[in-house]
Structure 1
Amino acid sequence: MRVELKGLHKTSKKLADGTKRDYYYAWKNGPRIKAEYGTSAFYDEFRRLTKEKKSPDSNSFQSIITLYKRTDLQQRKPSTRRSYLQYIKLIEEEFGDMSIAAIEETGSRAVFLDWRSEMADRPRTADLAWSVLQKIMAFGVHTEKLKRNPCVKAGRLAETGTRREKIWLPADISKLREKASQQITDALTLALWTGQRQGDLLRLQWSSYDGMRIRLKQAKTGRHVIVLVSGELRATLERLKKLNDERKVPALTILTNSHGKTWTSDGFRTSWGKAVEAAKVSGLTFHDLRGTFITRARRAGASIEDIAEASGHSIVDVRSILETHYLAGDATAGDAVILKLEGKTS
């Protein structure tokens, strides 16, 4: 039975495969409802969001965002307000429930940089979204709701290039493994061997793993991906499965925190940011593991088409990443050409 929800806002978007997807928001320009439409979880989330609209948790970033919209934003030109609201909506969806304490902790900057990097294929959008986020943070500091602004002086993606230029080198991976917790290194291993987005990996359930392959549907694109599990990843998954089976209340998801519970996006990003900082790895984000997967796969002999199929990237994006790293960075990549020419002329 469908219940009429006052203020519910619906939009539709045509995906790359031609299908149409509907998106629901608690109100126009409000946060997106992530639960499936028509389910009890959907109605519960709608009620929670509309309740928070009236009185958001004073310990959450949403309280600062709400105050910003009611005060500072209203002093700007109507066209500026309209422009800002589309980016504020993105920020609310991603960080609205993030605690103020988590923002103030060391390592939170990496969390926000990782979010920006997920929009690197749209550098102008990423820069504008970051600019608005930075202004809200500054407002929080100005009103003494925040002790610091973790989003200052980050440069512009539109000027410096996209994340395609960034990959994790073996030394970076080794440093993180050495300093990070087992839960973080397990997530690192899963990302390195699947090339999937952080959100998709955090949601990945045991039902998606059959002992040989991982099957998932990407939340961002709706694309179905099948990845053959490598020996190293299988060893990690089997260890995690055994550990999960021994728990009184097994988790549905493959990746869990130190308490054996499904990671929240906020919790994982904070822990990841701290681990990266402790390992002294700079300029790299979780999202950059996608390009790293592509580069490693190509060096191992995989075709561009197969890499695109496994990672969920477009063939154009795979080629772009490889042109930056594989073709330019491998000193032996052109050896076969010279050897063939030498054979023909000798």
Structure 2
Amino acid sequence: MIVVLSSILGWGVDRDWLPFNVAYRVKKLPIGSYIAWSESQVETALTCFSEPLRRAVLLAAYTGQRRGDLIKMRWDHWSGRQLYVNQEKKRAGAKDIEVYIPIHPRLAAEMLEWKKDGCDYILENCGEKWVGVNLSKRIALQVRKFGLPAGLNMHGLRKYAAAMLAEAGCTSHQIASITGHSTLEMVEHYTKSARQKVLAREAMDKLQDNFGNHGKTTN
């Protein structure tokens, strides 16, 4: 809202209709963060959601892409083994980036079936390309219908994908190569909880390796 308002007011300033732009450089408000889906919540969606929506959940969970990039994916962006994504960056001055994503076997098997529908876009609703807002509204309705926590949305699936990569032992650079994050700071923010689990498991494994099951050294 601030970006749009600043643009409108700036347009007025350029035409000498306003003395200054009061929305220029307004600080961001602390609005919190998106809720990451859990593995069980993703599986519930894949089992219960209507077909067009479960496809969106699966594609988001296994690629870590934003909603806007997901609905733009066409079949000619998929080679059978990897997806090509031209990520649109909305921040002022940020350039779009190209990302190549190897496809997980589970997603690849489903995509082979989806392609038989003969659609232009990988995600479609009754033969028509999704509009982002409509997709989000439909996901929210399904979340409510099947008793999942309020607040789960498409961006939460992006956080889920990053967390799963972190739990698999991927570095921040490796995760960013999939999700397309321009800074490692955001990747680390997304994966903080997942990394804690990995480190905790590694710590306990080391404790067991060195002291055994009964608190006695194995040396």
Q: 1:334 to 1:223 in 2, by over 3 A?
A: farther
Unpaired runs of 5+ in structure 2? 10-18, 90-94
Q: 1:255 aligns with which of 75, 98, 123?
A: 123
Q: Residues 100-132 of structure 1, C-alpha deviation per residue, up to 9 Å, x if partnerless?
A: xxxxxxxxxxxxxxxxxxxxxxxx63x4xxxxx
TM-score, normalised by the number of residues in structure 2: 0.76
Q: Does 1:239 align with 2:113?
A: yes
Cα distance in 2 between the residues matched to 1:234 and 1:310 = 16
Q: Does 1:162 align with 2:162?
A: no
Q: Residues 231-255 of structure 1, C-alpha deviation per residue, up to 9 Å, x if partnerless?
A: 11101211111122xxxxxx32110
The aligned residue for residue 285 of structure 1 is 153
Q: Does 1:225 align with 2:204?
A: no
TM-score, normalised by the number of residues in structure 1: 0.50
Q: Does 1:307 align with 2:172?
A: no
Cα distance in 1 between the residues matched to 2:199 and 2:48 = 28
Code of the residue aligned with 1:288 in structure 2: it is: G
Query: What SS class does the counterpart of residue 71 from structure 2 fall into?
Result: helix
Cα distance in 2 between the residues matched to 1:286 and 1:197 = 7
Alpha-carbon offset, residue 197 of structure 1 = 0.2
Code of the residue aligned with 1:319 in structure 2: it is: E
Q: 1:294 aligns with which of 140, 162, 173?
A: 162
Alpha-carbon offset, residue 170 of structure 1 = 2.1
Q: 2:188 aligns with which of 314, 319, 324?
A: 319
Cα distance in 2 between the residues matched to 1:337 and 1:256 = 48
The aligned residue for residue 14 of structure 2 is none
Cα distance in 2 between the residues matched to 1:316 and 1:235 = 33
Query: Root-mean-square deviation (CA), in Å?
Result: 3.0
Alpha-carbon offset, residue 299 of structure 1 = 1.7
Q: 1:29 aligns with which of 2, 5, 8?
A: 8
Q: 1:188 aligns with which of 57, 68, 71?
A: 57
Query: What SS class does the counterpart of residue 204 from structure 1 fall into?
Result: coil
Unpaired runs of 5+ in structure 1? 1-24, 31-77, 88-123, 128-155, 245-250
Cα distance in 2 between the residues matched to 1:319 and 1:204 = 26
The aligned residue for residue 6 of structure 1 is none
Q: Does 1:216 align with 2:92?
A: no
Aligned residues: 194
Alpha-carbon offset, residue 86 of structure 1 = 9.7
Code of the residue aligned with 1:274 in structure 2: it is: L
**1:57-76 pair list within 5 angstroms:** none
Q: 1:224 to 1:308 in 2, by over 3 A?
A: same
Alpha-carbon offset, residue 296 of structure 1 = 0.7
